[in-house]
Amino acid sequence: MATSRDDMQDNKLTFRKFEDGDHEWDSMTAQIFSEDTTYKCPTYVNRTPPCQGSCPSGEDIRGWLDIVRGIEKPSADMSMQEYSFHRLTDANPFPSIMGRVCPAPCEDGCNRNEVEDHVGINSVEQFIGDSALEAGFTFETATKDTGKKVAIIGGGPAGLAAAYQLRRIGHACTIFDDHSELGGMMKYGIPGYRTPRDVLNGEIDRIVNMGVEIKLNTRVGKDISMEQVEKDFDAVLWALGAKKGRQLPIPNADDAPNCLTGVDFLEAFNDGRLKLVSEKVIVIGGGDTSIDVVSVARRLGHITNITEKDRPENIVLGQTAHDVASSATKLGADVTLISRSAVEKMNAADHEIRDALREGVKIRGQLSPVEVILDKDGRAKALKVAELEDDGKTIKEGSEFEIEADLIVSAIGQSGDMTGMGDIGNDHGFIDADQHFQVPGKPGHFVAGDIVRPHLLTTAIGQASVAAESIDHYFKHEDLRKRPKVDKHTFNLLDKLRETGHEPIEFTKEVTDEYRGTDGGKWAVHNYEDRSAHEIISSDELFLGHFSFTPRIRREEEVPDSKEVLGHFQERMKGLSEEQAAEEADRCMSCGMCFECDNCVIYCPQDAVFRVKKTDATMGRYVDTDYSKCIGCHICADVCPTGYIDMAMGD
């Protein structure tokens, strides 16, 4: 529930211009005019910023932030909203959803944390996604189909993202999904108050409208054989997800009907069948799924004198469904989350834990389930637990006790369900993958998403992008090259020059007879190096003193407390306005890329660094260097806030 982490941030300025004991500026004049310090001259170097390096789907975050803030301009008459949308969705076709629910490892990696606080990347991403839905922006497909067909087994984030990337290339896609609607864990695993259904359906429909064929309520291995799929399609992408929950490995857990898995619980809620829970609910876990379960349970509440058919376990196991009348007079449920980890070490994000506590969930750490206690009817009436030592493994002697429970939900892990699908899986209920997301020993079979290893939605999206590239190489009978060290969707200066009409002219013998001293030639991009596939720029390569304290603009939230949570299914997160999004994006330090601050021009003592003509300028080509004037003093590199300048020419 990516909502309240903002509340936990302080506004302490962490960057210091001076160390203790420093009271006065040194003489800048003396530093500037002392002497030449190197034979090297400026080179402009593009590196990957840590936000992007931390993003599993590999978005060009710096790029779309620079577009929203107005530094990188759209071409022709395209709006900022549309231009940033296309830049963002080059990697991720779900900006509205990911802007809401992604736990944002990009923000953890943001270099702005070394100044005061990270950029609100998620909030700007949500703005871009919501603006695109409101304006009706669409995706383009390839101008010509290749004639190749790909079967995608699973219509969740990985399957849909792969279909999106494959249609952009021109390959035909058919998605097989055993649900009545597409969305996978985004729809059946995450509550609708976190992924609003109109938003989710809008982003799914945009992909389907690219010409993706859909086969719903169709399970491969049951409704259609795997042999038939392999016969009808040129390649297969396994994107099943991991929707098979793991039951507690303790006595009586498998026998008690009211011991459920978190995956089954959330699916029953999300497809509308489950409308109430029991009075006393215990959830075992500590990760994202367990937080969703306890939050849903607190919202649903319970009723007294429940009939047998309305017991939650009967609903979850598909035997019946709740009606509105039976849940009209609900009371709040007593919900407890227990974890083997200490609360502060649980896998769930701090803000998710904070939200759950605010909503009235009791959270107890360093407890290990020992046994499910049954009543005379064979139902669970309590969970026996034991306290753990600080190592999280050793049980404290004599520490066992029981917690009363009417419903026990296990959210301790999940795996894939490959019944009827042959020998594609491994011994752990997943599918093996190589670095190109091929299935080893299965030519023409590829895999992406939680069926490889359960992780974040953004991870599934990033894997799908790599798998789509691998499928394309497979169709072309090309050898798969080694993946880049920094495997992201990076800014490409040559593409930008082409877009703005500044593409270098074709190099021929007739263009020039002189192959040395080429800084004036129009057939090359000069004094520029792209290291984005090899390096992530760290904060110590920036001039942090350039950036003043600027508080983050936070999204408004409506997080219910324990008295308000019952029946609260409204979306809690409010998006930024255009003005707020631009202001927040402006806090981006544009690490590894020029953001046109003019420091290098102002501070160059020789006037060697200059702005290029406006008619020649574009993103990444704002300044240039006259090497006949440059004395190698390296001041331009020292005062470059973004680390875009290296003293490298002249080795």
Query: Checking DSSP bridges between strand 334-338 and strand 609-611, what pairing results, if any?
Result: unpaired
Q: pLDDT tens for residues 561-607?
A: 999 999 999 998 899 999 999 999 999 999 999 999 999 999 999 99
pLDDT value at residue 264: 95
Least confident of 37-41, 278-282, 524-528: 37-41
**Left (φ > 0), alpha (ψ -120 to 50) or beta: where does 646 sit?**
beta
Question: What pLDDT band is residue 1 in, cutting at 50, 70 and 90?
Answer: very low
588 in Cβ contact with 69 (< 8 Å): yes
37 against 613, higher pLDDT: 613
As to burial, measured by CB atoms within 10 angstroms (0-12 exposed, 13-18 middle, 19+ buried), residue 2 is: buried
Nearest by Cα to 295 from 100, 568, 555, 4: 568
CB neighbours of 472 closer than 8 A, spacing ≥ 6? 166, 169, 171
pLDDT value at residue 10: 47
Q: pLDDT tens for residues 194-234?
A: 999 999 999 999 999 999 999 999 999 999 999 999 999 99
What is the arithmetic mean of pLDDT over 439-457?
A: 95
pLDDT value at residue 514: 56
Q: How far is Cα 30 from Cα 531, in angstroms, rounded to an integer?
A: 34
DSSP H/E element including 65: helix 61-68
What topology is assigned to 149-243+416-475 in CATH? FAD/NAD(P)-binding domain (3.50.50)
What is the arithmetic mean of pLDDT over 287-316?
A: 91
Predicted structure pTM score = 0.91
Name the 3-class secondary structure at 554. coil
Q: Is the pLDDT of residue 34 over 80?
A: no
pLDDT value at residue 349: 82
Q: Is the pLDDT of residue 8 over 50?
A: no
Q: How far is Cα 608 from Cα 32, in angstroms, rounded to an integer?
A: 14
What stretch(es) of the chain map to CATH 3.50.50.60? 149-243+416-475, 245-412
What topology is assigned to 245-412 in CATH? FAD/NAD(P)-binding domain (3.50.50)
Q: Is the pLDDT of residue 247 over 90?
A: yes
Q: Is the pLDDT of residue 56 over 90?
A: yes
Q: Is the pLDDT of residue 541 over 70?
A: yes
Query: Checking DSSP bridges between strand 244-245 and strand 414-415, what pairing results, if any?
Result: antiparallel
DSSP 130-146: HHHHHHT--PPPPSS--
How much is the CA Rg of the chain, to the nearest whole Å? 28
pLDDT value at residue 5: 41
Q: How far is Cα 146 from Cα 476, in angstroms, rounded to an integer?
A: 10
Q: pLDDT tens for residues 477-507?
A: 998 888 999 999 989 999 999 898 888 877 7
Instruction: Write down the mean pLDDT value for the chain.
Output: 90
Q: pLDDT tens for residues 413-424?
A: 999 999 888 889
As to burial, measured by CB atoms within 10 angstroms (0-12 exposed, 13-18 middle, 19+ buried), residue 520 is: exposed
What is the arithmetic mean of pLDDT over 527-532?
A: 92
